[in-house]
Structure 1
Amino acid sequence: MGEGAGIRRRLALATAVLTVAGLLTVALPQDAQAAAYCPGRKVRTLPFSTGTVLVHKRGGYVCAVTVPEKPGTKRKMSVSVQARGGRPVVDEGRYAYRAGPVTVYAGQRCVWVKGAVARGSVSSGRILC
């Protein structure tokens, strides 16, 4: 068996893994998707016209994920979390299934969460104070 066969086998395996991961992402409801990426308990759901930002908290850490209303098509998405007095942690790009997760250590400080999918967006204002 040559080196080419090994490479093809690895590529086939990688393709299969990515396909299964994509199918699971489409099949899972939004809350389950966020739980798969963010540890802790869900503390906020921030819906907007083109998607939802799901916010989780564990200890002093706050994690957020933006999921589109209609997943599967790449479009501009973003999510950010900023603890009061800190810099925002941002994930922005063209995604098909989610932006994030992004996590910050907030301790007992308020956080500001923002998310966007295409032209729709949401901004929480200060929350979790």
Structure 2
Amino acid sequence: MSRQDNKKNAIEFYKMAYEGNPQKATELYVGAQYIQHNPSVGDGKEAFIAYFEDLAKNYPRKSIEFVRAIAEGDLVALHTHQVWPDANKEYVTMDFFRFDEQGKIIEHWDAIQQVPPTSANNNTMF
């Protein structure tokens, strides 16, 4: 698989899971193992699915915009803007996915920050 394929697949995986179908996302895009580094999500596919099913149930109107995607070697980095109207919050995220030789996601790291109401500069977080 090429870096471009990995980039496309990382976006499709995240979008599908985020929009409420994490089961299908893992079937299509995740390898035999799934190592999770986010301390709020359990390790493995089933924990990932449960987490995103819970998000879909509790925050049905959330949306995601993929601002940047960068691929290097077996890694893909995604920079996203998330809007959660049900919680009256916005987030900026940086997600990193590691792919195996078959082009399947096998590891994930992320950093999440709430967009503050004011900023010390005039630049956006996106």
TM range, smaller chain: 0.3 to 0.5
Larger radius of gyration: 1
Higher helix share: 2
Which is richer in strand? 1
**Highest relative contact order (Cα 8 Å, sep 6+), 1 or 2?**
2
